[in-house]
Amino acid sequence: MRFDILTIFPDLIHHYSDESILGRAQKSGKVEICAYDFREFSDDKHRRVDDRPYGGGAGMVLQVSPIYKCLEKLGLVKNGKKVKQTKTKIIIMDPDGKKFDQKMAHKFSKLDRLVLISGRYEGFDERVYKFVDEKISVGDYVLAGGELPALIIAEATARLIPGVLGNQESLIEETFVEGTIEYPQYTRPEDFMNLKVPKVLLSGDHKKIAEWRKNHSR
């Protein structure tokens, strides 16, 4: 699966995605993550991609032209319209969007390509939304930009792709899969400062262990 992330800080994307699960997934060829600096598509000699909002107001607004030209370079838009592609979705990070969750990650993991547009400043020129499929939010709070949300979506989606995780069984009972929070986990030592592992987990009785885990999921 391919992830294309549009941003003015591509190094933020690379520094994170080249490590851990996403890094291994790229090395194995299961996932490809590309970051594009849409400042490279600016008409301004100083590579500016923002300007003052018409009508006045605080802050700066990201211009439509650099983002459109970047999408055009990627073969996603042409002549002012989106190019129809199967199993490809263009997502924009937006506080007004649908709340991202595990079900959405599963849906995205069936795609061949996911395009994520990360904003900064006071947001996007409204005309940018004409060229996207969906607005997504990762929560009701304010961040400096859309890079972290884009990485959240990329990682949550990528780990669901077969072969990305070393042990696919870890996907079966994990948090949110069945609408629950996963049961408590313990490892060695059995006793730490008189904080002890529940005896049932040491019993070897798999039926009782499964029942305990079910009862302690929320």
pLDDT in tens, 178-198: 667 889 999 999 999 999 999
Q: Are residues 127 and 42 in the same domain?
A: yes
Can you give the pTM of this predicted structure? 0.88
Q: Are residues 91 and 154 in the same domain?
A: yes
**Looking at 128, 146, 166, which one is the last position of a domain?**
166
Q: Are residues 153 and 182 in the same domain?
A: no
pLDDT of res. 170: 59
Q: Are residues 116 and 191 in the same domain?
A: no
| Rounded mean pLDDT, 66-70 | 98
Q: Are residues 118 and 196 in the same domain?
A: no
For the segment 104-155, what is each residue's pLDDT rounded down to a tens digit?
Answer: 999 999 999 999 999 998 899 999 999 999 999 999 999 999 999 999 999 9
Q: Are residues 18 and 42 in the same domain?
A: yes
Q: Are residues 32 and 104 in the same domain?
A: yes
Closest CA to 135 of 107, 77, 96, 170: 96
Residue 193's domain comprises 169-215
| Rounded mean pLDDT, 36-54 | 95
Closest CA to 145 of 38, 5, 3, 7: 7
Q: Are residues 16 and 108 in the same domain?
A: yes
Torsion sign, CA atoms 13, 103, 136, 149 = negative
Q: Are residues 103 and 184 in the same domain?
A: no
pLDDT of res. 178: 61
